[in-house]
Amino acid sequence: MKVMKFGGTSVGSPQRMKEVVKIFNPAEGEQSFVVLSAMSGTTNSLVEISDYLYKNNPEGASTIINQLEQKYMGHIEELYATQEFREKTAQFLNEEFKYLRSFAKDAPTFSSKEEKVILAQGEIISTTMVTNYLLEQGKKAVLLSALDIVRTNENGEPDLNFIRNATVAKLKEVPDYDIYITQGFICRNNEGEIDNLQRGGSDYTACLIGAALQTSEIQIWTDIDGMHNNDPRIVDHTEPVRQLYFEEAAELAYFGAKILHPTCIQPAKLAGVPVRLLNTMDPAAPGTIINNEIQKGTIKAVAAKDNITCIQIQSSRMLLAYGFLRKVFEIFEQNRTSIDMICTSEVGVSVTIDNRSHLTDIVSELKKYGTVEVDDNMCIVCVVGDLASGNVGFETRACMAIKKIPVRMISYGGSNYNISFLVKAEDKKRTLQALSETLFK
Ligand code: ADP
Ligand code: ASP
Ligand code: MG
């Protein structure tokens, strides 16, 4: 069995849906497990509806719901050829939009629980539309609800055992289908409530299911020919990277390569299932394979993570003292805030965080141990490849490339695959460009 995930643009219009189902077709005797995102733009609209409801503005929410309904109803004529499937899908969409409108009535008590239910509707709609299209085409396809097979644990992390058992059990209930469809992104939490795997989470769903079922491959189909060596939204003339080691892909995803959800590579790596990134606009293009092979002595790609805050704690008490760093890290742990980069000297430590929600409490606690300085609007630029310490000169090349850019922190040696620089957000573009010019030309 192959797991294939198709992102928002890949199912972004009736025309795209018709094209994309041609790729689902499993080889003779094989089965495809297809994970779909919401149609592009839909999750953003659902976020907007929720924003209005948080602000107790049901009128604002209704305007977006009406626009969305018009758009979806317009897709029916284009997607389906028969009256039967047009009516069936129209009935389903009517129920969906009635459901969305029901939240507007409860606007004064709107909470994150309701928001998660609203956000789940994008994937529920896209998967139902595509399954109906496949059925109309006479395909042996069946829709499995991700709400039955994907669950997170008490820490909000995916519960791989549950996912494995539930998916295997579901497949046994409906064994003889060629194409299984499910929703990306959405799940239940350990309380049984509807939840999600964060924005871009459909990649994560695919990797979790592929890992749980130990499939031959996990395919992530998107709108670009694989992982590029730099962010194509920012830098011109980026090139696809044909192969990445699991660890390299995980670093790139975590440090901002939007093509992959930040933590989706982890389960694939643990299960040893290769991940292939492919382009729905050009299905024959080779894309990128992510597997367990290390290409010695190559720098592969660069990525950047935005909205980083840097916190520096300086204290002469750190000099020759033990236990100082433990106290500092405990403050972050107590505030459930994870640290990305760390640099230390004899009298100080700088760390970066990407979640500012507990910043005030963290800074106030840290002040008990030293002088604290906070720098906002920073950006981590991460160079990924075979950067083991034995590869003489590789980190120098990266540093030389950005010799004209003020660097706030440098982190090297934490893993063999990454060197990271902390720069001001305003210097992000020229940092990425300078690295491309020196490392990949
Ligand atoms: P999907 O909706 O299919 O999940 P995404 O928009 O989440 O697609 O991811 C694909 C996009 O990621 C590309 O269109 C590209 O603009 C962006 N991207 C950012 N960094 C990279 C990179 N290093 N390589 C390829 N694409 C990247
Ligand atoms: N639809 C969700 C989002 O836009 C999940 C995904 O596309 O991966 O974030
Ligand atoms: Mg995505």
Kindly write down the DSSP assignment for every residue of 279-338, as one continuous string: ETTSTTS--EEEES---TT-EEEEEEEEEEEEEEEE-GGGTT-SSHHHHHHHHHHHTT--
Closest-lying ligand 1 atom to the alpha carbon of residue 223: 14
CB of 262 sitting under 6 A from ligand 2? no
Ligand 1 pocket by Cβ (under 6 Å): 7-10, 37, 200, 222-224, 227-228, 231-233, 257-259, 301, 303
How far does the centroid of ligand 2 lie from the alpha carbon of residue 37, in Å?
6
Ligand that comes closest to the CA of residue 223? 1
Model-level pTM? Answer: 0.95
Tokens representing 105?
A: 């009535």
Mutate to test the pocket of ligand 2, among 4, 40, 43 (most ligand atoms within 8 A of CB): 43
How far does the centroid of ligand 1 lie from the alpha carbon of residue 258, in Å?
5
Closest-lying ligand 2 atom to the alpha carbon of residue 202: 8
Mutate to test the pocket of ligand 2, among 37, 46, 118 (most ligand atoms within 8 A of CB): 37
Query: Tens of pLDDT along 158-210?
Result: 999 999 999 999 999 999 999 999 999 999 999 999 999 999 999 999 999 99
How far does the centroid of ligand 2 lie from the alpha carbon of residue 206, in Å?
12
Give the HSE-up count for residue 181: Cα atoms under 13 Å, Cβ half-sphere: 26
Residue 32, φ and ψ in degrees, nearest 5: -110, 135
Query: Tens of pLDDT along 12-29?
Result: 999 999 999 999 987 888
72, 63 Cβ separation under 8 angstroms: no
Ligand that comes closest to the CA of residue 204? 2
Identity of the residue numbered 203: D
Find the helix packing angle between 359-366 and 324-334, rounded to 10°: 160
Query: Tens of pLDDT along 396-416?
Result: 999 999 999 999 999 999 999
* pLDDT of 319: 64
* pLDDT of 276: 98
Residue 318, φ and ψ in degrees, nearest 5: -75, -25
Kindly write down the DSSP assignment for every residue of 71-118, as one continuous string: HHHHHHHHH--SHHHHHHHHHHHHHHHHHHHHHHHTGGG--HHHHHHH
List, in sequence order, the alpha helices (H) in 137-258: 146-149, 160-173, 202-213, 246-254
The Cα 220–Cα 5 span in angstroms is: 5
The Cα 6–Cα 276 span in angstroms is: 12
Closest-lying ligand 2 atom to the alpha carbon of residue 200: 8
Query: Looking at the DSSP assignment, which residues form a beta bridge with residue 158?
Result: 152
Query: Looking at the DSSP assignment, which residues form a beta bridge with residue 304?
Result: 381
Strands 141-143 and 179-183: parallel
Q: Which residues contact 366 (CB under 8 A, 6 or more apart)?
A: 311, 313, 328, 331, 372
Cα-based distances in Å from 427 to 59, 218, 356: 41, 36, 21
Secondary structure of residue 274 in the 3-state scheme? coil
330, 368 Cβ separation under 8 angstroms: no
The Cα 96–Cα 38 span in angstroms is: 14
Query: Tens of pLDDT along 225-264?
Result: 999 999 999 999 999 999 999 999 999 999 999 999 999 9
The Cβ of residue 344 has, within 10 Å, a number of other Cβ atoms equal to: 13
Q: Whose CA is nearest to atom 12 of ligand 1?
A: 259
Q: What is the mean pLDDT of the chain?
A: 95
Given CA atoms 103, 105, 106, 108 in this order, what sign does their dihedral have? positive
Q: Whose CA is nearest to atom 4 of ligand 2?
A: 43
Query: Tens of pLDDT along 76-133?
Result: 999 999 999 999 999 999 999 999 999 988 778 899 999 999 999 999 999 999 999 9
Mutate to test the pocket of ligand 1, among 207, 230, 258 (most ligand atoms within 8 A of CB): 258
